[in-house]
Structure 1
Amino acid sequence: MSTMNISLPDTLKSYVDEQVAGRRFGSSSEYVRDLIRRDQDRQRLRGLLLIGADSAPAAPADRAYFKALRTRAGQGSAQ
């Protein structure tokens, strides 16, 4: 694992310390890793949403759509 040193103003350092203590992180490094992972997830989701927005429109997801989906899945015609 690589090491990275980050300089923070006192107010942000205090905030990180509060988050570590209040949210049961073992260290400030764990907190920062969690933030980075969440940002990566957010970026992935944003990318998928943009891909979906650029895609061609699909059939509407109405009652008929879900009825056909249930039939194809072998669940019959549940309400």
Structure 2
Amino acid sequence: MSNINISLPESMKAFIEEQVAQGGYGSVSEYLQELIVQDQKRKMQEHIEELLIAGLKSGEAIEVNDEWWQQKRTHLINHLHQHKCVSLDHSS
């Protein structure tokens, strides 16, 4: 594990120490690691939401029902079979 030294105003240091004591953290490092993990999760969630919005805006909506899923399965199975046949032809 690596170390990072940071400078904080006394008021922030006191706040962190209070959070450690009240939050059941074993150390300041544990508290700060938890904050970083939460920030990473928040940023990942924002990224996922951006991708979902982009997907919603990407084109005309289609109805996804049992028939659509069956067509998708059939297409993928056919694609896999074609890929295997091509791979087998090239291996000889």
Q: Same fold (TM over 0.5)?
A: yes
> Partner residue of 1:53?
53
Distance 2:16 2:29 in 1: 10
User: What is the TM-score with the length of structure 1 in the denominator?
Assistant: 0.71
Cα distance per residue 1:22-76 (max 9 Å; x no partner):
000000000000000000000000000000011036569xxxx9xx79xxxxxxx
CA RMSD of aligned residues (A): 2.1
User: What is the TM-score with the length of structure 2 in the denominator?
Assistant: 0.61
Distance 2:6 2:29 in 1: 10
> Partner residue of 1:77?
none
Distance 2:56 2:43 in 1: 22
Please state which structure has a larger fraction of its residues in helix.
Answer: 2
The alignment covers a number of residue pairs equal to 63
User: 5 Å matches for 1:1-79?
Assistant: 1-56=1-56
Residue 41 of structure 1 aligns with an amino acid whose one-letter code is K
Give unmatched runs, 5+ long, in structure 2: 67-92
Identity %: 37
Distance 1:56 1:18 in 2: 44
Give unmatched runs, 5+ long, in structure 1: 70-79
Residue 52 of structure 1 aligns with an amino acid whose one-letter code is L
- SS in structure 2 at match of 1:55: helix
